[in-house]
Amino acid sequence: MSRPLDIQAIRGEFPILSRQVNGKPLIYFDNAASAQKPNAVLDAMSDQGRTAYANVHRGIHTLANETTEAYEAAREKIRGFINAGSTNEIVFTKGGTEAINLVAYGLAGEIEPGDEIVLSVMEHHSNIVAWHFLRERHGAVLKWVDVDETGALDMAALEAALTPKTKLVAITHMSNVLGTVTDAREIVRLAHAAGAEVLFDGCQAGVHLDVDVQAIECDYYVLTAHKIYGPTGIGALYGKAAALARLRPFQGGGEMIEVVEKDRVTYNEAPHKFEAGTPPILQAIGFGAALDWLGQFDKADVLAHEQALYERAYEAVRGVNGLTVHGTAPGKGPVLSFSIDGVHPHDVAQILDRYGVAVRAGHHCAQPLMTHLGVSATARASFGLYNTLDEVDGFIEALHKARGMLI
């Protein structure tokens, strides 16, 4: 049975939410960049380090066995979170960026000049630059798919971009700027029909959507913990077993091998062949604890709450003269990106901070999207499980004050 969504009780589990900033109660609306951490996550990492820490795998003694069990239990929690078929399909990484780079490096040996990688203009730089490496070093061709005036992905353009030369479609599942949710299942259907694999950047979608990689049938799916109320320095790559078996190892060292001799080396099986060296053990355990904590709540209830926060903010700003909301696609996530005519978003964010309101301002590591939108940057308020309607009202009040100062 799911835990009731008592927001005030939930807020009490996040120590940082009780602090003040510039003499005002903190209103933290920068969740799309990184979410805050509940006691359950902080305590899981601290308790493991205090009572049962050792290096994982291959150890014989009690502490090594206990730590390995906790570490591998976190892998199973990630498997369940996205409904992967096996823990062997879950690779621990430093985060979403490393997961995407792992795939790019692993596929590089298969890329020939003229082979195509299809991206959308919404992509985070993490899901762009790694593919530029293949363009620069192996002659890959990057093909770009636009979004419409609401920020929805142009599916007809996506289908038109697919050719027999397309090797991979790398697309966000939820835009970090627009909040747009892409039709993952249809993207996979189109790509697979063209003979291409699909990678989804799920770093935003993971915290807001009910992700089922088997239902989507994607080849790769990328997660990062710190946006899902977990620690930094840990993420995960899901890959179909056959896809991971094809990828060459990303790094060399301990754990990712079976035999090392002077004149040869044989590699371990996935996922371990991609996990060279001592891993971020406590961070992985914290990742698992975050998924346990979030898993207490009904996902539909959480999404409805987050959408109510977004709708409250959107309705308050959409009629403001000179203010443009970027991203209004149906079914979008709880992200409000906006710009004010003649005002730099950094100035907006700086004044909001005086009132204790934390928002992000800049290009959000999405410069191709900024070019498409015709702006250099936006301000972004992004909402999480612990935020309240009263905080939205406080943000709107502070925003009107900032606008009055700047216009």
**pLDDT over 90 (residue 79):** yes
Q: Tell which CATH classification among 3.30.930.10, 3.40.640.10, 3.40.50.300, 3.30.70.1400 matches the domain 43-294.
A: 3.40.640.10
**What 3-state class would DSSP assign to 129?**
helix
Summarize the confidence of residues 180-193 as an average pLDDT. Answer: 98
**CB within 8 A of 129, min separation 6: which ones?**
none
Radius of gyration for the chain, computed over Cα atoms and rounded to the nearest angstrom: 22
Identify which of 72, 134, 137 has the alpha carbon closest to the alpha carbon of residue 103. 134
Q: How far apart are CA 174 and CA 228, in angstroms?
A: 14
pLDDT at 93: 98
Q: What is residue 407's predicted lDDT score, i.e. its pLDDT?
A: 86
Neighbours of 52 (CB within 10 A): 16
| DSSP β-bridge partners for residue 171 | 200
Provide the β-strand partners of residue 220: 199, 239
Domain boundaries, the chain: 7-30+298-406, 43-294
> Percent of the chain having pLDDT more than 70?
100
What span, in angstroms and rounded, lies between the C-alpha atoms of 150 and 325? 10
Quick check: helix, strand or coil at residue 378?
strand
- The structure tokens listed for 378 are 């936006």
Question: Burial, 19: exposed, middle or buried (Cβ in 10 Å; 0-12, 13-18, 19+)?
Answer: exposed
- State the fold for domain 7-30+298-406: Aspartate Aminotransferase, domain 1 (3.90.1150)
Question: How many whole angstroms separate alpha carbon 352 and alpha carbon 28?
Answer: 11
Among 33, 142, 365, 375, the active-site one is 365
| DSSP structure class, residue 268 | P
Which DSSP state fits 27?
A: E
Distance (Å) of CA 106 to CA 144, 239, 251, 296: 22, 12, 10, 36
pLDDT tens digit sequence for 291-341: 999 999 999 999 999 999 999 999 999 989 999 999 999 999 999 999 999
What single-letter DSSP state applies at residue 354? H
pLDDT at residue 58 in the model: 82
Q: Is the pLDDT assigned to residue 52 strictly greater than 90?
A: yes
251-to-71, 92, 256, 259 alpha-carbon distances in Å: 20, 13, 8, 16
Q: What mean pLDDT is reported for the chain? A: 97
pLDDT digits (tens, 9 = 90+) for 238-259: 999 999 999 999 899 988 989 9
Do 198 and 191 touch, CB atoms closer than 8 A?
A: yes
> 108-149 pLDDT, tens per residue?
999 999 999 999 999 999 999 999 999 999 999 999 999 999
DSSP letters spanning 167-196: EEEEEESB-TTT-PBP-HHHHHHHHHHTT-
Examine the residue annotation and report whether 203 is marked as an active-site residue of this protein: no
> Does the N-terminal peptide bond of residue 330 adopt cis geometry, omega within 30 degrees of 0?
no
